[in-house]
Structure 1
């Protein structure tokens, strides 16, 4: 079996599980467990389909890092719960999901799946660092297209894209990115900077859509090359004016959009395999306590078969 590292964009997956699994089955105390059960089913499916030899749950220790907000104040601003002044930003998360997050962490723990987060950074940055420095092929599981910037056929780094649902997973390679957007993965961050993303509070360059952004990158290589061409009169007057009008944004946006790849991370190399009796007993007790049922059974079976 080929050794592969699988990196989970954990929040992306448990949000998908929460909204995709009906909240019908409850824990004995009446608590919601749909996100937890759904995440277990997702893990079981991913491990069965892609047979990773190592699995890491990457975590948002800070979903809206201040250093990114300092550069672009509107970054993810619409997701912030209105709180008292000077309070830390709190992401708007349904109560029934928020209450399951400690359980999700506990479940990952008994399954032997390491959780890795870094202070003042998002899971994307953890994924970026681990994927860039991995010594084996990597599968990144996410519904966030920003991580397409990490795809690299030469190092066998690909994205397992979940945006169309767990029944319609898409393996994203260099060819996929080129076919979809007309740019290389290495150009994707600059492409996203120009296009903008309302869901992240990134305005982009007015009047520069995906097709124009891709064409400019094909002609000039990267955002720096495009801006230089604009300054030297090589673009149309309209395009040059648009880049001039958004120069302040373009000065800082690439730092916000590009995922970090140089964080100080000591990643445990946890190989998949049969769980110890203690781990299996702990998983069984947790499943019984929280009514995780067949979802825990499927996850245990998938992980055990990965040996």
Structure 2
């Protein structure tokens, strides 16, 4: 979903919605599929699974009703592309996964943790929240500006760069909050202070056990927002036990064939067609 939104707004800002003859905007879908295929070229996977949010409400809204309530409604040109993106991916024999009541991140986390022991797992997204999933066998390919540019994190690389573990990153998020997701954490504590506190005390419980060693300002802020701190911790953590029914044998990645180009022509995905014909994900066209 993060890649679909990114693709939509990249061209929507100049009014390029790429409307087809049926009056359906396709800019987000075409960009999303291009991101996906470029990631496949980069990572050379054996299997691909695409995880989606399934509606705006999840179990986190039951915990905190204002979760993500600060987000604007999606533009009218984007709304029909939610289903279209899944349809196009499905026509390329790619597996779409999503469970009502959970976020795509939860599905990603569940799958990554399930398969990390038997194969290498690469997660592609523009969402830094997924860094908490880093583990032995799990890497995160964070999309940078443009197409095909990634900052790839491993667990060891993350620890070396940030000075905390992926699990501790959840506690950092709990302290600093997330304006995008609409939970405040502890008011007045930003990323820099949150990182420093977790580096020094290990986790939130360690901070609470050593409140007397904090500055008077830090102690006052945390004590004033203690309930929200614990709540933010629950909201920040990716839930890795989603009830998924995924058969890995049905998620095998095969390169794009001339048969798939028929789908592109049918849906008038001209930008995607140009990319595929010049890419390494396209099998040679015989004849």
Deviation at 1:176? Answer: 4.6
Tell me the equivalent position of 1:76: 68
Distance 1:24 1:70 in 2: 35
Higher relative CO (Cα under 8 Å, sequence separation at least 6) belongs to: 1
Shift of residue 236 of structure 1? 3.1
Q: Give yes or no for contact 1:56–1:113 (8 Å, CA) kept in 2.
A: yes
Matched with 2:241 is 262
Deviates more, 1:257-266 or 1:119-128: 257-266
Match of 1:201 in 2: 182
Q: Say what the alpha-carbon RMSD is for the aligned residues.
A: 2.3
Q: Any conservation in 2 of the 1:28–1:289 contact (CA below 8 Å)? A: no
**Contact 1:48/1:302, CA 8 A, preserved across alignment:** yes
Question: Does structure 2 retain, via aligned residues, the 8 Å contact 1:12–1:142?
Answer: yes
Matches of 2:274 and 2:7, distance apart in 1: 17
CA contact (8 A) 2:39 2:148 kept: no
1:246-302 alpha-carbon deviations (Å, 9 max, x no partner): 1111222211110011112122212212568xxx64x34432232113514745865
List alignment gaps of at least 5 residues for structure 1. 1-10, 81-91
Aligned residues: 275
One of 31, 34, 37 as aligned partner of 2:30: 37
Query: Could you say which residue in structure 2 is the equivalent of 1:85?
Result: none
2:210 counterpart of 1:229: yes
Candidates 120, 128, 140, aligned match of 1:145: 128
Return the TM-score normalized by structure 2. Answer: 0.87
Q: Contact 1:27/1:289 (CA < 8 Å) preserved in 2?
A: no
Q: Is the 8 A contact 2:123 2:140 kept in 1?
A: yes
Is this contact kept in 1: 2:35–2:148, CA < 8 A?
no
TM-score (norm 1): 0.81
CA contact (8 A) 1:72 1:253 kept: no
